[in-house]
């Protein structure tokens, strides 16, 4: 299938560039598997070229680069709070020759509330390795935007940390919360949460701590 052909779009990355991207993703030595897993899962959930896709915490475009190539022009929006990582993303888009796909990368502290048009909606919203870096207040803000942006029948997918000890990553907290925490906040915003199980049970192939993360599907 076409989306899997895009898995090899960065096979020519040199080692230094790859390490830089991994450091901004947060997982050394895991770039290929994080990309493969997310693309495979996205396709299993029905992402097609016509899908409108918003990624919260897009980082250095681990998922996004091949996805931009797969989606119809203008159908990808990536949001991140770090301008330096979005600069890396634009470099990757230019290197891959994907500028004509018209992706939008937004530096936002409001999950796109201040940058996206009022009418912008998405069939899929994605937040991989993001929710556990947010404060309680920011989780509320995020879910408010999800409720606002999800198109009818749309889905929001996000993984959470329910088992690992709390710590920090860069300037961000690494929070441990069970699914009930997210279920309660989701309900306040008119959203429903389905726990899909661990990343490992869904096909994540690395023997790394994040295999124990649980993946949530959130709908209106």
Q: What pLDDT is attached to residue 58?
A: 95
Domains in the chain (CATH in brackets) are: 2-219 (3.40.50.150)
- pLDDT tens for the chain, residues 1 to 220: 455 454 454 454 566 677 676 666 656 667 789 999 999 999 999 999 999 999 999 999 999 999 999 999 999 999 999 999 999 999 999 999 999 999 999 999 999 999 999 999 999 999 999 999 999 999 999 999 999 999 999 999 999 999 988 777 567 789 999 999 999 999 999 999 999 999 999 999 999 999 999 999 999 9
Which contacts (CB < 8 Å, 24+ apart) does range 79-84 have? 79/54, 79/55, 79/105, 79/106, 79/108, 79/111, 79/112, 79/115, 80/105, 80/106, 80/107, 80/108, 81/57, 81/107, 81/108, 81/109, 82/24, 82/107, 83/107, 84/24
Q: What pLDDT is attached to residue 10?
A: 47
Q: What pLDDT is attached to residue 166?
A: 74
């Amino acid at each position: 299938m076409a989306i899997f052909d895009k898995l090899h779009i960065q096979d020519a990355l040199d080692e230094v560039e790859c390490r830089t991207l991994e450091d901004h993703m947060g997982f050394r030595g895991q770039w290929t598997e994080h990309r493969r897993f997310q693309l495979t899962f996205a396709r299993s959930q029905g992402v097609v070229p016509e899908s409108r896709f918003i990624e919260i915490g897009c980082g250095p475009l681990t998922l996004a680069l091949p996805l931009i190539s797969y989606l119809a022009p203008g159908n990808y929006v990536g949001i991140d709070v770090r301008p330096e990582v979005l600069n890396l993303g634009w470099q990757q888009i230019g290197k891959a020759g994907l500028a004509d796909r018209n992706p939008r990368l937004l530096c936002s502290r409001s999950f796109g509330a201040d940058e996206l048009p009022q009418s912008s909606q998405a069939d899929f919203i994605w937040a991989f390795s993001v929710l556990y870096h947010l404060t309680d207040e920011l989780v509320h803000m995020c879910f408010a935007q999800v409720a606002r942006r999800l198109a009818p029948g749309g889905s929001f997918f996000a993984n959470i940390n329910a088992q690992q000890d709390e710590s920090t990553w860069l300037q961000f907290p690494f929070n441990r919360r069970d699914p009930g925490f997210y279920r309660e906040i989701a309900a306040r915003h008119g959203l429903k949460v389905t726990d899909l199980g661990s990343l490992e049970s869904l096909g994540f192939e690395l023997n790394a701590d994040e295999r124990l993360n649980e993946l949530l599907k959130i709908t209106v």
